[in-house]
Chain A
């Protein structure tokens, strides 16, 4: 286990995948973003920075299985998701990527993000979202897909403005 057994080519593929996922989320390309996930996906944004957080015991900001993830995307696509109508203007930087082998050949990628969001739905405020994401990636028909994504915001336990976009 560990970094040594992940090849340079795999590391590069993971980084490119993370950049692509970030761009699709930034540009509110919901259907393309959803297509990156596996059928048994878990999308988790804890409401705490505690590494012991348990989504079965503690409240989360997001704890979506595939069905709820699809509901989230469908809602954004209705045009009646007023908190993202129009969608926030966003760009995020992904950095400090570390890739390791996980169970069953999964690739586990940790990365920091810094996301600037111009919330244009009401008051045109810019919000900064900062944290670390952990992706568990698996190859499906040769393509990397997201088995799970955990996003720990540095201010996860603080009062937050709307987080209705894809983080």
Chain B
């Protein structure tokens, strides 16, 4: 565990109680996409800005914890490792996305397959679609919702 985290967690527990502190720190998904274009990725906030059918801009920034500047440097370095054009993750994702985009321009394929994990997807007691982390549950949900709001409009 990075230095200072123990003390920070202890301070949160003193202020809010162990249960609330635990919820604040660990509850919720590591990644969340808020329709249509807000992305919460671990310690980063990102937005997707549409430019054209062929292009969008991905803006991102790390979060800083209020009253805990001791983590700022580490949060910056984590963000630079994962996000951005020179990071260790995003450029590889972007090249794959660029190839996918080229595939989307193909004139012959009429349908895009988004069925991965359909066989094991279920709806939990809170009404959420649940499947394996590698399945296309989120992709299906996004486009289902997109269709709904476009039809309503």
Contact = CB atoms under 8 A, between A and B. Distances in A.
Interface stretch (A10-18, A139-147, A154-162): A154-162
Contact of A122 (B61, B72, B98): B98
Contact of A59 (B58, B79, B95): B79
Where chain A touches its partner, the secondary structure class is loop
Given A56-B76, A83-B91, 10 more contacts: A56-B72, A59-B80, A60-B80, A63-B76, A68-B81, A82-B92, A83-B95, A122-B95, A163-B85, A164-B85
Interface of B: 57-59, 61-62, 72-73, 76-77, 79-81, 84-86, 88, 91-92, 94-96, 98-99, 102
Contacts of B84: 47, 59, 61
Nearest to B55: A159
A16 to B, nearest CB: 27
A24 B92 CA distance: 22
Where chain B touches its partner, the secondary structure class is helix
Contact of B88 (A72, A121, A122, A159): A72
B12 to A, nearest CB: 24
Contacts of A56: 72-73, 76
Contacts of A45: 86
A162 B7 CA distance: 38
A75 B88 contact: yes
Contacts of A59: 61-62, 76, 79-80, 84
Q: Which of A82, A161, A162 has its CB near the most chain B CB atoms (within 10 A)? A: A162
B80 A162 contact: no
B86 A62 contact: yes
A56 B62 CA distance: 12
Contacts of B72: 56-57
Q: Which of B76, B79, B96 has its CB near the most chain A CB atoms (within 10 A)? A: B76
Q: Which of B73, B77, B85 has its CB near the most chain A CB atoms (within 10 A)? A: B85
Contacts, number: 66
B86 A123 contact: no
A121 B95 contact: yes
22 contacts: A47-B84, A56-B76, A59-B62, A59-B79, A61-B86, A62-B86, A63-B77, A71-B88, A81-B92, A82-B95, A82-B96, A83-B91, A83-B92, A83-B95, A121-B95, A122-B95, A123-B102, A159-B58, A160-B85, A163-B85, A164-B92, A167-B86
Nearest to A82: B92
A83 B84 CA distance: 13
A55 interface: yes
A161 B73 CA distance: 25
Interface in A114-165: 121-123, 159-164
A123 B98 contact: yes
Contacts of A162: 85, 91, 94-95
Interface string A77-102: 00001111000000000000000000
A61 B85 contact: yes
Contacts of A167: 86
